[in-house]
Amino acid sequence: MPHQKIYPAQDNSSFASSIAEIDLSALAENIRRVRTTIGDCEILAVVKANAYGHGALEIARFLAQNTIKPLLFGVAFLEEAIALREGGITDRILLLTGVPLEQVEAIIQYRLSPVIYDLPSLEALRRAAEAAGAVVPVHIKIDTGMGRIGLPPDTALSFIKKAVGLAGIRVEGILSHFAHADLKDSAFTQQQLASLQTILSELEAEGILIPYCHLANSAAIIQFREACFNLVRPGLMLYGYSPMGKRQAFGLKPVMRVKTRVLAVKKVAAGQSISYGQSYVTKRESLIATVAIGYADGYDFRLSNRGEMIALGQRVPVVGRVCMDMTMLDVSKVPTLAAGDWVTVIGSEGSESIWADELARWTGSHAYEILCGIGNRVKRQYIKQGKYPHSV
């Protein structure tokens, strides 16, 4: 049997083909901007979807120790909450999508706060809480116009009255969700706000006081201050982007920068097709670089023959179709670029910048989608004050 060399376990970040640098100082600045805007309101930091691609556990760890500390962390699903708990997060965690009946015992076991909007889930949670000798904090969701999950406004009062009278249940919050607080026309947003305010007035008339009310997402925090109540839910703006595209005006700082390695650079003649489908053919002799990022890593296929990256401080175009693992660039203007060099996919280099909102414009999507799509093969490195404390 031939001898097999065994390599010691080590941090393999030096082997990474693509890296996402997560600037925790930018994150701290963004949450400071939130605090400045909302005054004394509490903050629910949204870290669902792997903190919009930034790494939920590392983001939550940082924020849990930050000077401006969130009251809660918001996740969509149970598995996201369990990952935070098993990673050492002891802060309150809100399950934003509700309570599947088979998950009730796990919700109690992991000390989670679920959103509730139906009687079967409420009853199941009550029974499990009583059996465990626990009291579960819940937030009751009202559908004021999103048309997704939540109680109809006309049934909310009776549901809440039932919930506050149950042993094992503590109604900690009431919430709803804006459908388009990012639009200039605020008529429907005002209607949603009024609907929730009516329910709050009804509760007050019944002598029912619920500690927290939350409705404001990033868009509402920025431009709809009256909707902030005493708890807000920043998501996208924590990571440096505004839903209205007003990042610079609001002083937000993008937290993620993505770079990828150059695999090869070669000279090709005029008339040479590049990548699948021959969708791009060189018009002149060109220098073509192949870089180590593709749609499997979240570099959108719609960027084929449309996107740009930054090489040696200059923008260079994507040519041909984006492949699963690789993308081709025309780097004729930067002839000194070589295999092993890095190019910037998202971020700044020299005087040039390409951020997720620009990629979103090229693809007809949104910064949310660009950030959430950055795949697990892209190594996350966490930076604070210019240093790289660790990689994951």
Is residue 390 included in any domain, yes or no?
A: no
Asked if 187 and 180 touch (Cβ cutoff 8 Å), the reply is no
Is residue 14 included in any domain, yes or no?
A: no
Is residue 381 included in any domain, yes or no?
A: no
221 shares a domain with 73 = yes
Residue 345 CA, distance from chain mean position: 18
Is residue 219 included in any domain, yes or no?
A: yes
35 shares a domain with 118 = yes
pLDDT confidence of residue 254: 96
The reported pTM is: 0.92
Catalytic residues: 48, 276
Nearest one of 148, 106, 143, 150 to 125, comparing CA atoms: 106
262 shares a domain with 224 = no
Nearest one of 350, 270, 341, 260 to 303, comparing CA atoms: 260
CA neighbours within 13 Å on the CB side: how many for 101?
7
271 shares a domain with 132 = no
320 shares a domain with 223 = no
Total structural domains within the chain:
2
Is residue 251 included in any domain, yes or no?
A: no
Is residue 227 included in any domain, yes or no?
A: yes
CA neighbours within 13 Å on the CB side: how many for 374?
28
Is residue 331 included in any domain, yes or no?
A: yes
CA neighbours within 13 Å on the CB side: how many for 231?
22
206 shares a domain with 64 = yes
85 shares a domain with 167 = yes
220 shares a domain with 151 = yes
Is residue 156 included in any domain, yes or no?
A: yes
129 shares a domain with 43 = yes
283 shares a domain with 196 = no
Q: Which domain holds residue 223?
A: 24-239
Q: How many helices (H) and strands (E) does the chain have?
A: 12, 20
| Residue 195, domain CATH | 3.20.20.10
204 shares a domain with 311 = no
Q: What is the pLDDT along the chain (392 residues), one digit of tens a residue?
A: 444 444 344 445 567 899 999 999 999 999 999 999 999 999 999 999 999 999 999 999 999 999 999 999 999 999 999 999 999 999 999 999 999 999 999 999 999 999 999 999 999 999 999 999 999 999 999 999 999 999 999 999 999 999 999 999 999 999 999 998 877 778 999 999 999 999 999 999 999 999 999 999 999 999 888 899 999 999 999 999 998 876 566 889 999 999 999 999 999 999 999 999 999 999 999 999 999 999 999 999 999 999 999 999 999 999 999 999 999 999 999 999 999 999 999 999 999 999 999 999 999 999 999 999 999 999 999 998 655 444 45
| Residue 348, domain CATH | 2.40.37.10
pLDDT confidence of residue 3: 45
- What are the distances in angstroms from CA 173 to CA 142, 160, 293? 11, 10, 43
Radius of gyration of the chain (CA): 24
315 shares a domain with 185 = no
- What are the distances in angstroms from CA 63 to CA 40, 242, 284? 18, 20, 52
Give the containing element (helix H, strand E) for 265. Answer: strand 256-268
